[in-house]
Chains A and B, each alone.
Chain A
Amino acid sequence: MTGFLTLLARNRLALAGGIVLLLVGLLALVTPLLPLADPDVTNTSNRFRPIFSPDALLGTDHLGRDLLSRLMWGTRLSLAVGFAAAIVAATLGAAIGIIAGYYGGRTDNVIMRGVDMLMAFPYILLALAIVAALGPGLLNALIAVAAVNVPFFARNIRGITVGIAHKEFVDAARLAGLSNTRIILSEILPNVVPVIVIAMSTTIGWMILETAGLSFLGLGSQPPQADLGSMLGEARSALITNPHTSIVPGMMILIIVMAINLLGDGVRDALDPRLKSGALSRPMAATRVDRKAPVPAPTGAGLLDVQSLETQFHVKDRVYRAVGGVDLHVEKGECLGIIGESGSGKSVTALSVMGLVASPPGVVTGGAVYYDGEDLIGAPYRRLREMRGRNVAYIFQDPLATLHPLYRVGDQLIEAIRAHRPIGKAEGRAKAVDLLRAVRIPNAETRISDYPHEMSGGMRQRVGIAMALANDPDIIIADEPTTALDVTVQAQVLTILDDLRRSRGLAIVFITHDFGVVAQLCDRVAVMYAGRIVEEGRTAEILDAPRHPYTARLMACVPELGGGKRRLEAIAGLPPAVNKLPPGCAFAERCTRVQEDCRQGHIPLARAGGHGVRCLHPIDDSREAAQ
């Protein structure tokens, strides 16, 4: 709750709206206590007194009634009616929406078609019809405004409920023996309340306007009772001769509705989880760079040479060291595997190469990434854009999320080529077909005009690879490209990647958590833990004789096909949070070989030949590793 209020207060406009609304609300509350003239006493000899008259601060209306007093009482009434209508509409609408969304099927159909019919009427006509049937009066106007707004809530809440009703925790509640009523009350309702609040905060202003509208037409509050709408309605005839009688209630309506809408938008933004996480604030086109230490010089190793790369996420006052000094290099035609668990920094390392880490909150705080001798960290955005896709291309885990659902795959491929060089329609199409053939998509000529949803997961990932190949890059960074695929399809996709790197001399950086995949595809492998490489070397060497205890333990806890039923060697505990890294070795807490010196100081990656290990007490004996 305090978090919500601070978020809300950070939005200046919402804060201003909130303060104004609070003031208006307070004034409305204390109106009966204020020394005001009776709002309903007429004094025709005193009519149309101007603003700032000695006995009437805001003047008087056509019957000589004190406008200030009428304004205060009218605001009180309008606010009350508006809020009451909003609450009635929200309660009814939410109940209808939840029932329709939860039960689905025929119930949903009948209810929602009824709601659709209500929505098909112009709202003012519907409100007029309701008031005409019930007779004029403020209470009936309230009922009409509430009824007109029920469909809005019902549809909104139904949509949310449908999403929640299919969540696993609702199934779990059913299995725990909860009845439908209980599920609605205890599982669904608490999860839709924020949405109801958001919808209400953005519609109360609208409802006050509608009530005022009905009163303006003479269907709401009846004379002599004042509300903002009826005041405007009565002042209409004197609009030209005595404009202040209309301006006074008009300004009040404007102030109230503006304040409510500004506050409502603020409430919505503060409650929406996506906005809260900052996901909708637009990230910069390239990751922010803020290197304090001197930039390391290129070593000339490999086509891509990453040196002591550090990438952090700055969230409020916390600093997450996602990548804490990573050195990597990959040669032409070579496949480097990066293996690690979630949170080990493997994906952030990969994204940092081309400045694709979202900023804010990501910042590259140190190191360099040399592509053919050129430092990409801090390169101008123009240069990065030129190189993205043409020199270094990416393949991501979920092709359904990376392909645009509304464009045909062929058009997306041609677009990827056009981003780098102008190409004619026919030529583009021919090139796209070639690309699809290169990733072994059968019937490439017809498949080119498929939409992504018409393809299977394996086919989509082939399109993802084809897109990465579109501009003949030298390096492909593949971030768990087969994790979402079935084993039979995974085998096909891996062979395609392997063939491509051999035939085109591609350098591949392959990120995965699967030792089997690394063993089959990669020449070298780097094992990452808590943002650092803990072991690096030739794949066969590391898999045969891992030297870092983490590598050995990680390999032991993955079951391997053909081993039969057995107990696995689990690693106790969890990896450390990267905003609270311990001094010394990050794995010390979970390590069985830990000694006193492991918990202090920086532990370097000690290299012997091509094999590097970041451990003070590495496993020496290959027999020991086997145990």
Chain B
Amino acid sequence: MTQALKLTDLSKTFPVGRRLFGGPKGSVKAVHPLSLTVHQGETLGIVGESGCGKSTLARMLVGLLEPTTGQIEIEGAALDTADPAAFGKRIQYVFQDPISSLNPRKTIRQIMEAPLKRLHGMPAAERRARISEIFDSVNLREEFLDRYPHEFSGGQAQRIGIARALAAQARILILDEPVSALDVSVQAQVLNLLADLRRDFDLTYLFISHDLAVVEAVSDRIAVLYFGAVVEIGPAEEVFANPSHPYTRLLADSAPVVGRPLSAPEAEGTELPDPLNPPPGCAFAARCPRATERCRTETPRLSPVGPRTEAACFHPLSE
């Protein structure tokens, strides 16, 4: 399998507390150095709770944020500028909130034309043909093109968002919580559409979500993020069914599932570590029932725990 996307030691640190003169007071590591590969035609699910760095990662991947360290390689070629236009042709982004990602004062046609005109310099007649082709593939009627964004429901607007990403002709799409603003019945329509498009256009997806069941249903592989680092990565059917990292297990046990009695795996209110003052060692150690002295001093690295699974834990559950 060829590699569509390769991340090497990608990290992002935000300065905190500007001073008038001199450097910032502190810094927050939103994403710890992270290496990942996504294969051509694969869907990699990225799951994590709020504040785990999923959105920061996504914005770095499309050039909206400049990484502090590391490199992004797309189909073997490195992209090290932070110019969204350079990224745009190769990797595109589908936003969480479909309505607010469309300019309220532009018609859908103007919105759709922008990437064709600016990224590909396509002449008008060709643009028209291409737009109707794309609209057809996302099951939208062409008469929608001359309307304004507020006239659409969430599901339709999200299809338009997907259509815009397709217009750039990128082969990798970053889907940042693409269905979490949608109702469940519409959510399924959009997820199925995404699956069809991937098959038809041989696309590669990075599917970011906080909804474990949705990620599991659409992904080939899943990476679990905690506190800015990947704690476990493996095949979708195994990650939640047979977790290796205690945090993955906590997530899987917390998800409400029909037929399972209500239980809170963690009774007390536990909170994420302070990002300004991160603990030494494993960030999950304070919440972990298996934590030992080693976990509190040494940071575990991602290492194989099964044939296709890797986890960043000294005491993985599969042991």
Contacts and interface: CB of A to CB of B under 8 A. Distances in A.
Interface of A: 167-169, 171-179, 182, 186-187, 190-191, 341-342, 440-442, 456-459, 462, 486-492, 494-495, 498, 513-517, 519-521, 543, 553-554, 557-572, 574-575
10 contacts: A169-B101, A171-B64, A175-B63, A177-B168, A186-B106, A456-B272, A491-B256, A491-B263, A559-B214, A570-B189
A190 to B, nearest CB: 4
B102 A174 contact: no
A177 B101 contact: no
A520 B96 CA distance: 28
Contacts of A561: 212-213, 216, 240, 252, 255, 257
Given A495-B262, A561-B216, A565-B217, A456 B187 contact: no
Nearest to A457: B50
B218 interface: yes
B103 A562 contact: no
B114 A565 contact: no
The winner among B118, B184, B259 for most chain A CB atoms within 10 A is: B184
Interface residues of B, number: 79
B220 interface: yes
Given A175-B84, A494-B264, A567 B192 contact: yes
B180 to A, nearest CB: 10
Interface stretch (B24-32, B87-95, B300-308, B311-319): B87-95
Contacts of A442: 268-269
A486 B263 CA distance: 15
A566 B216 CA distance: 9
B165 to A, nearest CB: 8
B78 interface: no
B93 A516 contact: no
Given A182-B118, A486-B210, 5 more contacts: A174-B64, A174-B85, A176-B88, A560-B213, A561-B252
B258 A513 contact: no
A559 B240 CA distance: 14
The winner among A168, A458, A514, A553 for most chain B CB atoms within 10 A is: A168
A184 to B, nearest CB: 13
A190 B110 CA distance: 14
Contacts of B251: 487-488
Contacts of A543: 258-259
Interface in B135-154: 153
A572 B105 contact: no
A571 B190 CA distance: 11
A361 B49 CA distance: 38
A513 B119 CA distance: 40
Contact of B187 (A458, A521, A557): A557
Contacts of B212: 487, 561
Nearest to A570: B188
A559 B269 contact: no
B265 interface: yes
A102 B217 CA distance: 40
B118 A560 contact: no
B229 interface: no
The winner among A186, A514, A557, A571 for most chain B CB atoms within 10 A is: A557
A191 B104 contact: yes
B100 A169 contact: yes
A574 B50 contact: no
Contacts of B214: 559
Contacts of A167: 100
A495 B264 contact: yes
A175 B168 contact: yes
Given A177-B85, A191-B103, A568 B256 contact: no
B256 A520 contact: yes
A557 B64 contact: no
Contact of B185 (A179, A495, A553): A553
Nearest to B251: A487
B16 interface: no
B195 interface: yes
Interface in B188-239: 188-189, 191-192, 195, 210, 212-214, 216-220, 236-237
A478 to B, nearest CB: 14
A570 B64 CA distance: 33
A491 B251 CA distance: 10
Contacts of B241: 562, 564
B17 interface: no
B87 A175 contact: yes
A440 B267 contact: yes
A488 B189 contact: no
Given A178-B118, A491-B256, A495-B262, A172 B95 contact: yes
A185 B242 CA distance: 53
Contact of B95 (A168, A458, A490): A168
Contacts of B103: 169, 172-173, 187, 190-191
A565 B236 contact: yes
Given A486-B49, A560-B258, A564-B236, A571 B185 contact: yes
A113 to B, nearest CB: 11
Contacts of A190: 103, 105-106
Contacts of B62: 175
A253 B191 CA distance: 64
B93 A487 contact: no
Contacts of A519: 256-260
A185 to B, nearest CB: 12
B92 to A, nearest CB: 6
Contacts of B256: 487, 490-491, 494, 514, 516-517, 519-520
A511 B111 CA distance: 37
Given A495-B262, A554-B184, A560-B257, A168 B114 contact: no
Contact of A487 (B106, B216, B218, B255): B255
B164 interface: yes
The winner among A519, A559, A566 for most chain B CB atoms within 10 A is: A559
B23 interface: no
B268 A570 contact: no
Contacts of B253: 491
Contacts of A440: 267-269
A492 B119 contact: no
Contacts of A341: 183-185
Given A462-B269, A486-B210, A491-B263, A565 B189 contact: no
B184 A174 contact: no
